[in-house]
């Protein structure tokens, strides 16, 4: 070997062995080749430059190659341990590759600390799931997807009757408006609810339907999902158009989305209708959000709902929800003026019905969620629900941030080493963010799964809903998006802060392994602030839940004044087309006799409308003997319904004075009435109401009071004593009645037995609804129950999350202070006192948080006042109970990890450094 | 993209076809007319760097090796990523050269 080659071999020894072994031979070959080239010149100066170049070349390479080797070793070691070093490469490779490397690294880290990962994933799943599910619930209310053509031209026409400023029109009203408004409206359509019974085998389905004018779908400018919609050609001769459209949900449920349903016959109320189409999936219904099973033309009103009155000609049947389309260039104001003119004309023509305070009201369709009156409740409730779960997400996020901060502190040394070795801060932040992103996305996926399950569960619960409304809850595209955005926002916001903090480039203390310098003397470190914030948020949520639960308790304690025994309710329609009033009474009398003899049944009775029916309040105008009508009005308004002799006993309403209805009250005899005590006290205080008379307005029927009944709740549980008047069913026929079945044992068997008897006796009698009294009253309690349940769930979740945060913070503090504690115990301090100190420090955050929470809750409760019932906004039970509960749970969460300090072996702790 | 000059020339050399280290050096010398001297440590270190970035790769397939290759030497070839990098850098140079040419041409005229 030449001298030059020997020198080069020596030179190569500077390089790492691995590099030498891989490339040494090749490098020597290259050296030989270069030497051949340079020898040709043989200029000593050039030769010297060559050797200098060779030397510098190798020396320059020593550093980078050593770094490369170290990197490889680290990678291999980490692979063995199952935890690699953080990928250092910055700006090399493609972005995707870097991200993939980051993600792989994160997954390995997560697998290494399953406890942390599980807690983080669970809290994220709860936070994100709660938000997505709640959003799916309120989304249809907040985002008005109007599936109509040119929805900005559309307006809703309501009747403002003072007490209810956005009621529906009667069909004659609709006709009058339609005829008088050609100048301002291009198109106008209307629809009302109807019900239908469908018998399938031995099963009876009670369906909710709509009957719509032929102009209705053309006004909406909506087509059908399948086949055609109801069209003007279906609205020509009354009783001649046997066609029906299926609701999309009903088509899905009952026909399995079979496209061949067109042309089939659907038998409703015993009569066959040809299926001509299926409504689009996004068809909102005449009132948004109330899904219907079928839609028929209004020309079939008398057939689909064989009542004794003709809904199409009855000016008192105000059930027609009306939409119109403004003529291009016509403003809402012009249309309002036109309608005011029509209203004035109607007032002149029908002074009995159109008394003074009634007028038309126009609202742009785009501004209406369900109904302008209900919207005033829906909107705040939705926003409140979102705010509640939003707080939970915040707590989740702060928990996550708190964990990440702690881990960031743990990892400071590792991070500092990497920074010292030249990794850029951007690389590290990106890496740490990848970690939170993976966590948040995985938690988000879990949460969305939980939301899907929860909504399915709620749907299966079959909650008591008014009428035949069926509740179908499902996740929506937007709700998924909200979940995803929540997850990403969590990752970004609450991953970035700890990431920036832990990569802060003051390396020296970290490298000195002085882990304890962080946060030891700082009572209000970010971590402690987060814990205090969580405690405050939990406090507010607990107070809110407490108030709602107390409201619910108060509401449940309200005595409705009837139906306190197990009772079944059977709402039936005796088809007027087959039964005139006389035949109808006869068939029901026979039915009541038979049902009353059933062994399961204690008593039966009959009423036109059960009290506390949220979908139907019926009133009557009255002139009261000896009392002037209210100023500017022709008559008093009172709630009213029919009752038969058995009703009061079956419903459990005692007659306090006089008598109940009986066989003396024949159709042709003197018309009689029973009033409730509230009625008697309102109009005849201190007098005997029996034998007083009232006269109905505008019919002018005179009624003599024969009895006084105990006052019941009529419209809502929260109302004060409300005057009520019962007329005799025998004198005031209704084809639509509710049979009240008081059970001897449980309500359900009695109801089923009564239903069977009805099927055997009169299969043509339409069962509109069958339900227990418990379920009937449950409709009223549903919002309160749902609210209390939701708020309690949310508050408990918040409390658990906050406790987890506190637990983490205290464990961390305990671990950091182990050295100090060890010294103190070694010096003779009682372990108990050391524990107490750690607990005390943890509880300081809790007390600060609880104090802030108390102030917030005191303020916030005033805002909730409208939602409360029977409790004050400063309910002492809540405001004492919540702090006790919170402090108790917090104490446990702080004490468990703090106890560890006392079990330290001082010798071990002191040797650990 | 800032691509080190010798990385560019190594990639360019490999654009001619797979080669071992000594051959790469030879090609670079030819392409640069001797103006870029690739010393061995620089050469093999750079080859490692480029392999780490997956811009070049060792040719495992014997069929892909040039016919005159011995079994001992490591043969390296451009990866699709390397080719893309080379193309991007070349485009940039082309742009710079255009500017330079137009500037120089403008300077030449009165």
Asked if A576 contacts A308 with a C-beta cutoff of 8 angstroms, the reply is yes
Q: Is residue A91 over pLDDT 60?
A: no
Predicted confidence band of residue A708 (pLDDT cuts 50, 70, 90): very high
Q: Is residue B70 over pLDDT 60?
A: no
| Closest approach of A39 to chain B, Cα-based (Å) | 15
| Contacts (Cβ under 8 Å, ≥6 apart) of A687 | none
pLDDT tens readout for residues A524-576: 567 778 888 888 888 888 898 898 889 888 888 888 889 888 999 999 989 88
Mean pLDDT lowest among A176-190, A236-250, A616-630, A655-669: A616-630
Contacts of B46 in chain A (CB under 8 A): none
Per-residue pLDDT at A728: 94
Per-residue pLDDT at B73: 61
Local structure of A463: helix, strand or coil = coil
Mean pLDDT lowest among A10-19, A511-520, A589-598, A836-845: A511-520
| Residue A192 to residue A265: CA distance in whole angstroms | 22
pLDDT tens readout for residues A148-178: 988 889 999 998 876 677 888 989 999 999 9
| Residue B90 to residue A94: CA distance in whole angstroms | 19
Q: What secondary structure letter does DSSP report for A172?
A: H
pLDDT tens readout for residues A752-793: 999 989 988 888 888 888 889 988 888 888 878 888 888 888
Q: Which residue of B has its CA nearest to A35?
A: B39
Per-residue pLDDT at A896: 83
Predicted confidence band of residue B1 (pLDDT cuts 50, 70, 90): very low
Torsion sign over Cα A710, A716, A717, A722: negative
Predicted confidence band of residue A471 (pLDDT cuts 50, 70, 90): low
| Contacts (Cβ under 8 Å, ≥6 apart) of A772 | A566, A567, A568, A569, A747, A748, A751
Contacts of A25 in chain B (CB under 8 A): 72
Buried b (16+ CB within 10 A) or exposed e, B38-64: bbbbbbbbbbbbbbebebbbebeeeee
Contacts of B54 in chain A (CB under 8 A): 93
What rounded mean pLDDT belongs to chain A? 83
Per-residue pLDDT at A913: 46
Q: Is residue A515 over pLDDT 60?
A: no
User: Residue A778 corresponds to which tokens in the numbers above?
Assistant: 């449950």
pLDDT tens readout for residues A822-857: 777 777 777 778 888 888 888 888 899 999 999 998
Mean pLDDT lowest among A59-68, A325-334, A401-410, A843-852: A401-410
* Cβ count within 10 A of residue A525: 18
User: Among partner residues B21, B53, B74, which is closest to A93 by beta-carbon distance?
Assistant: B53
pLDDT tens readout for residues A248-285: 999 998 999 999 999 999 999 888 999 999 999 889 88
B25 touches chain A (CB under 8 A): yes
Per-residue pLDDT at A514: 47
Cβ–Cβ of A93/B54 closer than 8 Å?
yes
Asked if A450 contacts A125 with a C-beta cutoff of 8 angstroms, the reply is yes
Cβ–Cβ of A53/B37 closer than 8 Å?
yes
Per-residue pLDDT at A911: 57
ipTM above 0.85, yes or no: no
A601: closest CA among A765, A739, A779?
A739
Mean pLDDT lowest among A116-130, A399-413, A568-582, B24-38: A399-413
- Output A79 or A694, whichever has higher pLDDT: A694
User: Among partner residues A27, A33, A54, which is closest to B44 by beta-carbon distance?
Assistant: A27
* Cβ count within 10 A of residue A888: 10
| Residue A795 to residue A216: CA distance in whole angstroms | 46
Question: Percent of chain A at pLDDT above 70?
Answer: 89
User: Residue B37 corresponds to which tokens in the numbers above?
Assistant: 């001297």
Q: Is residue A818 over pLDDT 80?
A: no
Contacts of A19 in chain B (CB under 8 A): 44-45, 48
Cβ–Cβ of B41/A33 closer than 8 Å?
no
Tokens 């051959």: give the residue. Answer: B23
| Residue A592 to residue A829: CA distance in whole angstroms | 84
| Residue A206 to residue A755: CA distance in whole angstroms | 13
Cβ–Cβ of A92/B73 closer than 8 Å?
no
Predicted confidence band of residue A124 (pLDDT cuts 50, 70, 90): confident
Give the mean pLDDT of A23-38: 84
pLDDT tens readout for residues A742-755: 999 899 999 999 99
Give the mean pLDDT of A277-299: 91
Predicted confidence band of residue A48 (pLDDT cuts 50, 70, 90): confident
- Output A499 or A565, whichever has higher pLDDT: A565
Angle at A886 between CA A881 and CA A892, to 5 degrees: 130
Cβ–Cβ of A64/B73 closer than 8 Å?
no
pLDDT tens readout for residues A306-340: 887 788 888 877 889 999 999 998 999 999 999 99
């Amino acid at each position: 070997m030449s001298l030059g080659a020997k020198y080069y071999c020596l030179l190569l020894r500077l390089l790492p062995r691995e590099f030498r072994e891989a490339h040494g031979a090749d490098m020597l070959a290259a050296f030989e080749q270069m030497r051949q080239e340079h020898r040709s010149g043989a200029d000593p100066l050039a030769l010297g430059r060559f050797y200098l170049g060779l030397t510098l070349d190798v020396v320059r390479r020593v550093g980078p190659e050593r770094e490369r080797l170290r990197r490889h070793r680290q990678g291999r070691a980490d692979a063995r341990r199952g935890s690699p070093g953080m990928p250092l490469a910055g700006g090399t490779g493609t972005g995707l590759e870097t991200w993939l490397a980051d993600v792989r690294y994160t997954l390995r880290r997560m697998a290494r600390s399953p406890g942390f990962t599980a807690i983080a994933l669970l809290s994220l799943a709860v936070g994100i799931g709660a938000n997505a599910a709640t959003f799916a619930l309120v989304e249809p209310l907040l985002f008005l997807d109007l599936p109509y053509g040119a929805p900005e031209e559309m307006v809703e026409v309501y009747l403002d009757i003072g007490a209810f400023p956005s009621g529906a029109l009667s069909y004659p009203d609709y006709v009058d408006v339609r005829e008088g408004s050609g100048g301002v409206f291009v198109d106008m359509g209307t629809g009302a609810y109807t019900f239908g019974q469908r018998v399938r085998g031995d099963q009876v389905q009670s369906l909710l339907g709509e009957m719509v004018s032929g102009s209705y779908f053309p006004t909406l400018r909506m087509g059908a999902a399948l086949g055609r919609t109801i069209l003007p050609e279906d609205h020509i001769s009354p009783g001649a158009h046997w066609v029906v459209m299926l609701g999309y949900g009903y088509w899905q449920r009952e026909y399995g989305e079979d496209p061949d349903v067109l042309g089939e016959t659907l038998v409703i109320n015993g009569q066959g209708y040809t299926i001509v189409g299926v409504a689009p999936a996004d068809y909102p219904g005449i009132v948004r959000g109330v899904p219907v099973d079928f839609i028929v033309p209004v020309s079939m009103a008398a057939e689909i709902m064989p009542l004794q009155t003709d809904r199409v000609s009855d000016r008192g049947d105000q059930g027609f929800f009306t939409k119109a389309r403004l003529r291009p260039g016509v403003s809402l104001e012009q249309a309002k003026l036109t309608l005011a003119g029509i209203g004035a004309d109607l007032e002149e023509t029908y002074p009995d019905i159109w008394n003074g305070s009634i007028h038309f009201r126009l609202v742009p369709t785009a501004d209406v969620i369900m109904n302008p009156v209900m919207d005033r409740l829906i909107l705040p409730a939705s926003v409140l629900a979102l705010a509640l779960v939003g707080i939970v997400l915040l707590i989740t996020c702060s928990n996550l941030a708190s964990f990440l901060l702690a881990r960031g502190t743990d990892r400071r040394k590792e991070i500092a080493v990497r920074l010292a070795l030249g990794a850029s801060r951007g690389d590290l932040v990106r890496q740490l963010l990848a970690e939170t992103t993976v966590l948040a996305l995985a938690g988000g996926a879990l949460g969305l799964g939980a939301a899907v399950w929860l909504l399915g569960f709620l749907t299966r619960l079959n909650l008591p809903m008014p009428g035949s409304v069926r509740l179908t809850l499902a996740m929506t595209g937007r709700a998924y998006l909200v979940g995803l955005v929540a997850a990403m926002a969590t990752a970004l916001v609450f991953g970035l802060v700890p990431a920036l903090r832990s990569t802060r480039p003051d390396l020296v203390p970290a490298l000195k392994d002085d882990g304890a310098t962080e946060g030891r003397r700082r009572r209000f470190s970010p971590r402690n602030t987060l814990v205090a914030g969580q405690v405050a948020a939990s406090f507010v949520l607990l107070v809110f839940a407490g108030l709602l639960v107390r409201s619910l308790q108060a509401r449940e304690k309200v005595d409705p004044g009837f139906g306190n025994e197990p009772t079944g309710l059977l709402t039936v329609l005796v088809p007027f087309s087959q039964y005139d009033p006389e035949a109808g009474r006869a068939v029901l009398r026979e039915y009541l006799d038979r049902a009353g003899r059933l062994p399961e049944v204690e008593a039966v009775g009959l009423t036109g409308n059960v009290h506390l029916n949220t979908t139907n309040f019926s009133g009557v105008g009255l002139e009261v003997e000896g009392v002037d009508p209210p100023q500017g009005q022709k008559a008093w308004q009172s709630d009213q319904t029919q009752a038969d002799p058995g009703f009061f006993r079956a419903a459990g309403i005692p007659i306090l004075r006089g008598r109940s209805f009986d066989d003396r009250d024949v159709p042709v005899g003197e018309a009689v009435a029973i009033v409730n005590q509230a009625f008697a006290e309102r109009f005849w205080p201190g007098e005997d109401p029996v034998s007083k008379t009232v006269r109905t307005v505008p019919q002018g029927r005179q009624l003599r009071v024969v009895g006084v009944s105990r006052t019941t709740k009529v419209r809502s549980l929260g109302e004060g004593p409300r005057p009520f008047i019962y007329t005799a069913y025998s004198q005031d026929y209704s084809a639509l009645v509710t049979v009240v079945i008081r059970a001897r044992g449980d309500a359900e068997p009695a109801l089923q037995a009564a239903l069977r008897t009805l099927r055997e006796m009169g299969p043509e009698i339409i069962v509109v609804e069958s339900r227990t009294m418990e379920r009937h009253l449950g409709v009223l309690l549903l919002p309160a129950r749902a609210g209390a349940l939701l708020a309690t769930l949310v508050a408990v979740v918040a409390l658990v999350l906050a406790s987890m945060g506190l637990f983490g913070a205290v464990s961390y503090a305990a671990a950091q202070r182990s050295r100090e504690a060890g010294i103190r115990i070694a010096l003779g301090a009682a372990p108990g006192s050391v524990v107490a100190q750690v607990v005390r420090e943890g509880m300081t955050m809790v007390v600060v948080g609880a104090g802030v929470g108390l102030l917030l809750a005191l303020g916030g409760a005033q805002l909730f006042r409208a939602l409360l019932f029977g409790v004050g906004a400063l309910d002492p039970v809540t405001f004492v109970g919540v702090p006790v509960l919170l402090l108790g749970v917090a104490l446990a969460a702080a004490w468990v990890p703090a106890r560890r300090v006392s079990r330290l072996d001082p010798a071990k702790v002191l040797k650990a450094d | 993209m800032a691509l080190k000059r010798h990385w560019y020339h190594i990639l360019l050399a490999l654009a001619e076809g797979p080669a071992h280290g000594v051959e790469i050096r030879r090609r670079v010398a030819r392409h640069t007319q001797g103006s870029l001297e690739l010393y061995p440590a620089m050469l093999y270190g750079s080859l490692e760097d480029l392999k780490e970035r997956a811009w070049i790769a060792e040719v495992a397939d014997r069929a892909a090796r040039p016919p005159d290759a011995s079994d001992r030497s490591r043969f390296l070839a451009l990866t699709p990523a390397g080719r893309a990098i080379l193309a991007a850098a070349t485009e940039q140079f082309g742009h710079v050269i255009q500017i330079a040419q137009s500037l120089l041409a403008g300077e030449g005229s009165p």
